[in-house]
Copies of this chain bind each other. A is one copy, B any other.
């Protein structure tokens, strides 16, 4: 059986509350007493029981990261997993554990159970789970949304990358490279981040340029079809900003079928920098986000909320452009 605080106290010849005080450091204790206690701890290989400690001070010592995944793919989602990595690191630094919970279709329940059963001190949620009803239900429980919520008037903290600015960056880059007619392909406009990307795209277009926007399912086949029809129309674009890597793959296929050389006659920039993007032929110029910073900021915002009830904050992180071959017209 593992040693408890009582064993340490007995061995050190002090009351167990003294041991507790030495542990938490807050309270003046004689150097002599401290040393007796430390040596007893060492001797017994004492480690405080975190469950008991949490019960006593009404905490759980953990934060929950909720995923909204029907299948394993959401977990493999690079955006999610890289952020998770950063969140975990930030949490470890602060002494918190990270509990991951998949809600799937009924993530509301998973969330409620985590909160109501006091399993976590704070939550990180995806926008899809952070519905107003839920937010209201759990009151002012500390939570941060990882991504910008679709419902505009949501009273909550969130951290997101700046999709609008990312799209502007992409369009400006294409103009700079001498492309003149830029289209947007892919995504589902019902999704908030897609709409924001499109907004940025439209913002950055030249005054007189018509927006060409075609949405499609996020698989290469669909994007290829959409790309072929776009590229063979009479006013075909000479550059395409793709909503994701799957769309970009489809466009590459379409261009290949139509014998349009990339980047000479068609420039491509894609959102997301999945490992994939680097290894296509040609390699894809990508709008990348600092997922590590994203996760770190998210976690830190949450810790602030937990430890001293700060007000809600919203953070937007700028995207950067990774220049690769698909838009590198000399």
**Proximity string of chain A (65-76) to chain B, C-beta cutoff 8 Å, 1 when within and 0 when not:** 000010110111
Please report the C-alpha to C-alpha distance between residue A279 and residue B71 in the assembled complex, in whole angstroms: 20
Select from chain B the residue with minimum beta-carbon distance to A246. Answer: B279
Q: Most chain-B CB neighbours within 10 Å: which of A51, A114, A275, A276?
A: A51
B119 and A50 contact, CB distance less than 8 A: yes
Q: A60-B51, A72-B292 are in contact. Are A101 and B110 (CB under 8 A)?
A: no
Q: Which of B47, B100, B280 touches A116 (beta carbons < 8 Å)?
A: B47
Check A54 for interface membership: any CB of B closer than 8 A: yes
B72 touches A97 (CB 8 A): no
Mark the stretch among A18-26, A29-37, A86-94 that contacts chain B. Answer: A86-94
Chain B residues with CB under 8 Å of A281's CB are: 281
A45 to B139, alpha carbons, bound, how many Å? 14
Nearest opposing residue in chain B for A80, CB measure: B81
Give A residues with C-beta under 8 Å from B.
2, 45, 47-52, 54-55, 60-62, 69, 71-72, 74-76, 78, 81-82, 84-86, 88-89, 92, 97-102, 110, 113-114, 116-119, 220, 249, 274-276, 279-281, 291-292
